[in-house]
């Protein structure tokens, strides 16, 4: 290497002398080509290269550690750019990365958590709170509830752990789009994760009366993209057990004047909330509270499935996109799902 370097220094000296003494376009071009060669030769060597910020040199190039870029790792990436804090939180850089300063009533590393007051201790009487989550074009807002969920339903006793109705206190989630999201939740069964329509804002309202209070709710939210779908679409390893801790989305784009038809294969199994110690799922129901699930979201359809019964075929509205979400938590895994989709022509209503 030392030999090569000396040779290059000589070469560079010759070229600069030549540049100083010679004129004429052709000669200049030759000389520039010569400099090019010497530069590319010098870059395959690490002798003269000092990488900044803990980068190391490999074959003349700096291999940069996380959060640095540039030829010599001299550029520090700004962890606050783009702003990782939701809800217009303010980001500041720290030694470890960044911290978000969140607006009132938003919590979590990225201002991505909201909760009833004092959670998981009892919320206050006469609470009336509203949160607005701003939509981002082409992304879907997804909400996921924590396990402890308790909101007063019909009386001051023990809340109902199956699907409740007649809520005294409640949380509502609406997307501002005319859709199925507009539901009141209460009782003790944590709602399944919720995905709002593409690009839309989400309003969350929590109201309590003057009588009894419970633990309340806590949820986190995020903005999701989608992956390009294969056909058929299946959970990992299908029909063997899927991996745990999975979160996958697929977006099937609509075609004008056509309907998307989804058909499930018979083997269908995802962890429902009645499963104890990874036992058998229920083979005859679709549950409100799924631990693992597949969601189908399109136009006027918004469904969440788990358990062991394959859903009936689903037909989307004409021209509509279909979003499919598959989520597996970190506990038990089952055989999963497989579905195919077809763009079909006009449906005749008789
Ligand atoms: C962010 O900083 C601006 C300017 O200092 C301030 O007005 C605003 O209240 C801050 N926002 C939050 C959520 O702290
Ligand atoms: C709510 O009001 C009831 C009835 O007045 C009272 O017993 C209860 O302690 C109150 N709950 C809280 C959290 O203040
Ligand atoms: C599923 O788990 C296996 C074994 O742990 C792993 O090799 C594979 O990469 C995982 N697949 C996905 C899609 O995470
Ligand atoms: C899609 O799946 C259904 C149900 O398994 C099956 O009957 C149908 O033949 C499949 N269609 C295609 C095009 O693979
Ligand atoms: C689970 O399902 C298997 C196969 O259908 C059956 O043999 C077994 O008895 C079931 N176990 C329970 C606890 O229901």
Query: How far apart, in whole angstroms, are the C-alpha atoms of residue 96 and residue 93?
Result: 8
Query: How far apart, in whole angstroms, are the C-alpha atoms of residue 166 and residue 243?
Result: 38
Ligand 4 contact via 311 beta carbon (within 6 Å): no
The reported pLDDT for the residue numbered 99 is 95
Residue 251's nearest CA partner among 315, 327, 141, 325 is 325
CATH number of the domain at 231-344, please?
2.60.120.290
Burial of 214 (0-12, 13-18, 19+ CB in 10 A): buried
Q: Which two tokens stand for residue 153?
A: 């339903």
Q: Where in the chain is the domain with CATH 2.60.120.290?
A: 112-226, 231-344
The pTM of the whole model exceeds 0.75: no
Ligand 2 contact via 53 beta carbon (within 6 Å): no
CA of 88 to the centre of ligand 1 (A): 8
- State the ligand closest to the CA atom of 237: 3
Interval 179-223: pLDDT, tens: 555 678 898 888 878 888 888 899 999 999 998 999 999 999 999
Interval 117-138: pLDDT, tens: 999 999 999 999 999 999 998 8
What superfamily does domain 112-226 belong to in CATH? Answer: Spermadhesin, CUB domain (2.60.120.290)
Nearest CA to ligand 3 atom 7: 243
CA of 262 to the centre of ligand 4 (A): 9
- Do strands 75-76 and 90-93 pair parallel, antiparallel, or not at all (unpaired)? unpaired
Ligand 1 pocket residues where CB is under 6 Å:
89-90, 101-103
Residue 12 has pLDDT above 70, yes or no: no
């Amino acid at each position: 290497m030392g030999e090569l370097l000396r040779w290059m220094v000589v070469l560079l000296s010759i070229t600069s002398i030549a540049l100083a003494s010679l004129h004429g376009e052709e000669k200049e071009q030759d000389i520039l080509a010569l400099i090019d060669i010497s530069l590319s030769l010098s870059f395959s060597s690490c002798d003269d290269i000092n990488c900044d910020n803990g980068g190391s040199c490999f074959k003349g190039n700096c291999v940069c550690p996380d959060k640095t870029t540039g030829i010599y790792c001299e550029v520090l990436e700004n962890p606050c750019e783009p702003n990782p804090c939701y809800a217009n939180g303010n980001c500041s850089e720290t030694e470890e990365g960044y911290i978000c300063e969140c607006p009132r009533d938003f919590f979590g590393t990225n201002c991505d958590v909201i909760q009833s007051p004092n959670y998981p201790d009892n919320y206050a009487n006469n609470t009336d709170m509203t949160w607005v989550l701003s939509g981002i074009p082409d992304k879907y807002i997804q909400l996921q509830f924590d396990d402890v969920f308790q909101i007063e339903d019909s009386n001051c006793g023990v809340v109902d752990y199956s699907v409740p109705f007649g809520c005294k206190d409640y949380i509502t989630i609406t997307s501002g789009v005319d859709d199925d999201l507009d539901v009141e939740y209460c009782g003790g069964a944590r709602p399944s994760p919720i995905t709002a329509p593409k690009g839309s804002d989400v309003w969350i309202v929590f109201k309590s009366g003057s009588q009894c209070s419970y633990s309340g709710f806590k949820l986190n939210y995020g903005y999701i993209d989608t992956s390009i779908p294969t056909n058929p679409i299946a959970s990992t390893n299908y029909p063997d057990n899927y991996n745990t801790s999975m979160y996958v989305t697929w977006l099937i784009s609509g075609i004008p004047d056509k309907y998307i038809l989804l058909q499930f294969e018979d083997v269908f199994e995802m962890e429902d909330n009645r499963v104890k110690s990874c036992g058998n799922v229920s083979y005859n129901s679709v549950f409100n509270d799924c631990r693992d699930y597949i969601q189908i979201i399109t136009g006027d359809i918004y469904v969440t499935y788990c358990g062991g019964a394959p859903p009936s075929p689903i037909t989307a509205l004409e021209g509509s996109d279909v979003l499919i979400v598959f989520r597996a938590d970190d506990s038990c895994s089952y055989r999963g799902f497989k579905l195919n989709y077809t763009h079909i022509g006009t449906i005749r209503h008789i």
